[in-house]
Amino acid sequence: MSKSSFSKAIGITAVFLLSQAFFASAQAVPEDYVQRMETLNDQAVRQHAEAEGKAVPAVEDYRFGMKMDVAKVIHVTPTASANLCGNVPKLMSYEDSTGELKSIRYTVNGNCRNER
């Protein structure tokens, strides 16, 4: 193997290994985790809505700069025990100052073991 071929092979190997490390740290949040959190939030909101005689709200995605009128927090999905890296979806359900129930989906940093 010539010197330039060897250098090229080393370069390609380095790029491959670095890309694998990048993709390993950018793992997607498992769908079953997202489903469990949505179910937890839905149960809490339904229970509160039934007790208060209110409609169950549809989940709305948070947008930057969105005005939020939070008078009372009903439920926030946990992330502390998730041990997930990267961006993790979270839900918060609340009553606004008029008593209307709302649910917002937003993103937080996960609790990755190597980020503590």
Per-residue pLDDT of the chain (116 residues; tens, 9 = 90+): 666 665 565 656 544 444 444 444 455 678 888 898 899 999 999 999 999 999 999 999 999 999 999 999 999 998 755 577 778 889 999 999 999 999 999 988 877 766 55
Could you report how far apart the first and last alpha carbons of the chain are, in Å? 45
Residue-level pLDDT at 114: 62
Domain ranges of the chain: 29-115
Q: How many CA atoms lie within 13 A of 97 on its CB side?
A: 3
- Pairing assessment for the beta strands 87-95 and 101-109 based on DSSP bridges: antiparallel
Q: Whole-model pTM? A: 0.68
Tokens of 103: 């649910």
The CATH topology of domain 29-115 is Spermidine Synthase; Chain: A, domain 2 (2.30.140)
**CA distances for 78 relative to 9, 36, 57, 102, angstroms:** 46, 11, 20, 18
Residue-level pLDDT at 98: 95
Residue-level pLDDT at 88: 84
